Amino acid sequence: MKILSEEELELKFQERIDKGEIIEPKDWMPERYRKQLIRMMSQHAHSEIVGMLPEGNWITRAPSLRRKAVLLAKVQDEAGHGLYIYSGTETLGISRDQVMGDFLTGKAKYSSIFNYPTLTWADIGAIGWLVDGAAIVNQTALAKGSYGPYARAMVRICKEENFHHKQGYEILATLMKGSKEQREMAQDSINRFWWPSLMMFGPSDNNSPNSAELIKWKVKKYSNDELRQRFIDRTIPQAENIGLTVPDKDLKWDEETRHYSHGEINWVEFNNVINGRGICNKERMKARRDAHENGAWVREAANAYARKKASKTKAA
Ligand code: FAQ
């Protein structure tokens, strides 16, 4: 059998991608493809885990038993998504310890959106409706991506995100049918969360260093701006339906393009947040580092059990 050079292997790999084939963990892949996936998937997993914090903040203060049960289930779902994607990342040959180390030392990022505080109950509605709504638009596209374990994880995760999206919208719809104070609380929440939700899709296309490579390898099927536009187009009618407005004076429907055109995103704020200078960055990292330290005994116990089991199997 002829041994293929690195270049020939890369060409064959690209042919497979172009044909729409799915890449599995044991298949040959360029080192850069593996690295890009580790970067993106691990950051996605960190986002799910950090994303539990702003909502977890309201579990004890949910306004009814039903709301508390729903919120608890949602926050648990996010933990499940994080663990699922961490496992997917491990299929690329990196250990959980390494992935966690990169996160806890601040080398790996997590989504900017989770560095904003949840000040009122309406923020729980806004997160479900806007943040999960944005995540669904992004992840439905990722579910058609080229790396099997990640794409399959997205299919399952999107099903749960759909439920999260509906519960968020229902919270806001209920508030909008309530008193003047409740309507104001809902609107105030949208005023604070609208622009950060648009930032979730990443920098604009002319400023996105990873997009070209990820699109070539069909990890990403659409650009950051395309997905952001899709989110805006589907969200504005939902806002109008319950009497909410978004804080963008330049937003208007363009009959010719059949899309909403929108105002400029504050990229200075975005860059500050992704570089550790957002409102809650320090608090979020401290919470995760504390949780990691406090969980050391669980990891030690699990490792001791695994070692014992392995030595028994060997002896038998
Ligand atoms: N926040 O070249 P690009 C959720 C970084 S899950 C922070 O455009 P790329 C569920 C980017 O990493 C939300 N950093 O990058 C939930 C890169 O930095 P690096 C998370 C950001 O990869 C709901 C640099 O900027 N979802 O919400 C952000 O092509 C409710 C240049 O950017 C995912 O992670 C940002 N917003 O596109 C949980 C989905 N945007 O790594 C709880 C998977 C960009 O070179 C409650 N990820 N950066 O140092 C993706 O789709 C992509 O990675 C993008 C960025 C679109 C996020």
Distance of CA 163 from the midpoint of ligand 1 (Å): 22
| pLDDT score recorded for residue 316 | 76
Tell me the mean pLDDT in the region 15-33.
Answer: 98
Instruction: Quote the CA–CA distance of 259 and 252 in Å, as a whole number.
Output: 9
- 140 in ligand 1 pocket by Cβ < 6 Å? no
Instruction: Quote the CA–CA distance of 298 and 303 in Å, as a whole number.
Output: 9
pLDDT interval class at 315 (50, 70, 90): confident
- Whether pLDDT at 239 is above 90: yes
| pLDDT score recorded for residue 65 | 97
Distance of CA 231 from the midpoint of ligand 1 (Å): 15
Instruction: Quote the CA–CA distance of 70 and 198 in Å, as a whole number.
Output: 26
Measured from the Cα of 134, ligand 1's closest atom is 27
- Whether pLDDT at 104 is above 90: yes
Tell me the mean pLDDT in the region 96-117.
Answer: 97
| pLDDT score recorded for residue 3 | 87
Distance of CA 300 from the midpoint of ligand 1 (Å): 32
- Whether pLDDT at 81 is above 90: yes
Which residue from 111, 157, 169, 272 has its CB within 8 A of the most atoms of ligand 1, so it is best to mutate? 111
Environment class of residue 98 by beta-carbon count within 10 Å: exposed (0-12), middle (13-18) or buried (19+)?
middle
Residues forming beta bridges with residue 86, ordered by sequence position: none
Q: How many CA atoms lie within 13 A of 58 on its CB side?
A: 27
Instruction: Quote the CA–CA distance of 3 and 158 in Å, as a whole number.
Output: 41
- 42 in ligand 1 pocket by Cβ < 6 Å? no
Residues 6+ apart with CB under 8 A from 207: 267
Instruction: Quote the CA–CA distance of 166 and 238 in Å, as a whole number.
Output: 11
| Tokens of residue 106, six digits | 């601040």
Measured from the Cα of 128, ligand 1's closest atom is 30
Distance of CA 32 from the midpoint of ligand 1 (Å): 18
Tell me the mean pLDDT in the region 26-32.
Answer: 97
203, 224 in Cβ contact below 8 A?
Answer: yes
Instruction: Quote the CA–CA distance of 54 and 117 in Å, as a whole number.
Output: 6
Measured at the CA of 21, the angle between CA 18 and CA 25, to 5 degrees, comes to: 120
- 292 in ligand 1 pocket by Cβ < 6 Å? no
Instruction: Quote the CA–CA distance of 306 and 312 in Å, as a whole number.
Output: 10
Tell me the mean pLDDT in the region 9-27.
Answer: 97
Distance of CA 108 from the midpoint of ligand 1 (Å): 11
| pLDDT score recorded for residue 313 | 84
**Which residues in the chain belong to E strands, given as ranges?**
252-254, 259-261
- 168 in ligand 1 pocket by Cβ < 6 Å? no
pLDDT tens column, 137-169: 999 999 999 999 999 999 999 999 999 999 999
- 199 in ligand 1 pocket by Cβ < 6 Å? yes
Distance of CA 208 from the midpoint of ligand 1 (Å): 11
Lowest mean pLDDT segment, chosen from 1-5, 46-50, 148-152, 292-296? 1-5
Give the residue, by CA position, lying nearest to ligand 1 atom 12.
Answer: 109
- 48 in ligand 1 pocket by Cβ < 6 Å? yes
Distance of CA 106 from the midpoint of ligand 1 (Å): 15
Tell me the mean pLDDT in the region 88-117.
Answer: 97
pLDDT tens column, 123-137: 999 999 999 999 999
Please tell me what DSSP assigns to residue 147.
B
Tell me the mean pLDDT in the region 255-281.
Answer: 97
- Taking the mean position of all CA atoms in its chain, how far away is CA 63? 27
Give the residue, by CA position, lying nearest to ligand 1 atom 27.
Answer: 135
Phi, psi (rounded to 5 degrees) for 237: -60, -35
- Whether pLDDT at 1 is above 80: no
